[in-house]
Amino acid sequence: MMSKDETKIRRAFKEKNWNAIKTSDSWQIFKIMSEFVEGFEKMSKIGPCVSVFGSARTKSDNKYYQQADEIGYLLTQKGYGVITGGGPGIMEAANKGAMRGDGKSVGLNIELPFEQSHNEFIDNDKILNFDYFFVRKVMFVKYAQGFIVLPGGVGTLDELFEAITLIQTGKIGKFPIVLVGKSYWKGLIGWIKATMLAEEKNISPEDFDLFNIVETPEEAVEIIEEFYRKYTLKPNF
């Protein structure tokens, strides 16, 4: 019996007639459009927000969970709503902090085979569910005035580097990106400096101006605040 992965691979190589292609792709386009429309309609009404990223696996007794909670709280005290991926771990903590601060708590949940149900700290009218990662990522960027990134895995890195790439290539205006946890990020940043920059020259020294690395929730929120003392709040697209 073939596994699900094997079935998908075989299906990808199977020839389709024009009618099958047209029917399948057309309905997929409508589904994608519907996710964009729903996302734009709901998110456009929320106001200035900061997206907070990090691992779904982080437990409540972890220091980064507690920092995410405090970041969510502090952001709401500065007038920002909090956007997360809607799941457990760091996402839950940031939503929890936002709710504790009586601020707007937004969750952009993704439908996955084995996970994830949204956490309980999201405002009932601000839960959005997505099938497509790329639609979800547009919402994170379009409606955020900044990114705060705590320790996470591959998904967190995906969201981080997408934002850096969009700013680096001029596809969106610059906004603050803050990494929290110097000890966690130092290995990655060290490799980027030593290999990507110094050895291979695949990036420019100026690219390091696109993000900040801090240690505390207070420092993270202060960078967001300091940036917008000079600029008018506005969407990035």
Q: Contact 94/73 with Cβ under 8 angstroms? A: no
Question: What does the mean pLDDT of the chain come to?
Answer: 90
pLDDT at 235 over 50: no
Q: Of 57, 200, 68, 188, give the one whose Cα is nearest residue 121.
A: 68
Q: Contact 78/72 with Cβ under 8 angstroms? A: no
pLDDT at 112 over 90: no
What is the predicted pLDDT for the residue at 154?
Answer: 96
Please report the beta strands in 35-122, taking only residues with DSSP state E, as ranges in sequence order: 49-53, 81-84, 105-110
Q: What is the DSSP letter of 166?
A: H
Pick the CATH number of 17-228 from 1.20.120.450, 3.10.20.30, 3.40.50.450, 2.60.120.10: 3.40.50.450
Burial annotation 8-22 (CB, 10 A radius, 16+ → b, else e): eeeeeeeeeeeeeee
What is the predicted pLDDT for the residue at 229?
Answer: 85
What is the predicted pLDDT for the residue at 115?
Answer: 59
Instruction: Summarize the chain as % helix, strand, coil (round to 5).
Output: 55, 10, 35
In this prediction, residues 206-225 reach a mean pLDDT of: 97
What is the predicted pLDDT for the residue at 183?
Answer: 98
Domain locations in the chain as residue ranges:
17-228
Q: 177-198 pLDDT, tens per residue?
A: 999 999 999 999 999 999 999 9
Q: 137-169 pLDDT, tens per residue?
A: 999 999 999 999 999 999 999 999 999 999 999
For the chain, percent of residues with pLDDT exceeding 90: 81
Q: Contact 68/93 with Cβ under 8 angstroms? A: yes
What is the predicted pLDDT for the residue at 19?
Answer: 64
pLDDT at 18 over 80: no
Q: What is the distance between the alpha carbons of residues 132 and 112, in angstroms, rounded to a whole number?
A: 10
- 22 band by pLDDT with thresholds 50, 70 and 90: low
What is the predicted pLDDT for the residue at 237?
Answer: 42
Q: Contact 55/153 with Cβ under 8 angstroms? A: yes
**10 vs 156, residue with greater confidence:** 156
Q: 90-101 pLDDT, tens per residue?
A: 999 999 999 999
